Amino acid sequence: MNAREILDELLRNRALVRCLLRAIGVFDDRAIVVQADTKIAHVGRVVVLAIDDATAELVRGRGQRVVGPTEIPPIADDDETRAPLAILDAIVHAHNRSPHTVDAALCAYRVLPSIAEDRREPYWNAIVGALDDATREELQKLLPKR
């Protein structure tokens, strides 16, 4: 699975979508969140997820509601959203080369056991695959030895 497929899958988690919508002040349960490169026919109740700042600004410039990297809410202890939010957060940080990428990846690593077994490896591979070499090496030093 690539990052796009994983994000599509995460966005089918209604609790995560509600969490993202509330982070930008949208309380309409009929609203949906789509990825920035999704073709949108009707934008009335659509909020766009942009995993990088440039795309977020471009979409905002078109008057669309956006959840960008700065709007992703902090990971809380809410069992329903904790794992998918941690995966989403790690992917976003990795794509943006954020100084918090390693912390976000470690948080995602810690929630992997709560994710369905067949999803763990593809999710982790998408996060690690988005890292630059230096960040990947730094992360490997911090992970438990197997």
Give the chain's radius of gyration (CA, Å). Answer: 15
Q: Looking at residue 52, what DSSP letter applies? A: S
Number of folded domains that form the chain: 2
- Residues 48 and 84 grouped into a single domain: no
Cβ atoms of 10 and 88 within 8 Å: the answer is: yes
Are both 66 and 84 inside the same structural domain?
no
pLDDT of residue 59: 86
Nearest to 20 by CA among 53, 67, 54, 52: 67
* Domain around 107: 79-142
Q: Are residues 10 and 57 in the same domain?
A: yes
* Cα pseudo-dihedral 95, 105, 8, 28, rounded to 10: -100
**Look-up: residue for tokens 């410039």?**
61
Question: Domain check: are 114 and 59 in the same one?
Answer: no
Are residues 133 and 97 part of one domain? yes
Phi, psi at 35, each rounded to 5°: -75, 155
The sign of the CA dihedral 55, 56, 58, 63 is positive
**Domain termination site, one of 31, 50, 71:** 71
What integer pLDDT is reported at residue 103 of this predicted model? Answer: 93
**Over its length of 146 residues, how does the chain's per-residue pLDDT go in tens digits?**
888 889 889 999 988 998 899 888 888 877 888 888 776 655 567 899 998 888 899 888 888 889 999 888 878 666 778 899 999 999 999 988 888 899 999 999 999 999 999 999 999 999 999 999 999 999 999 998 86
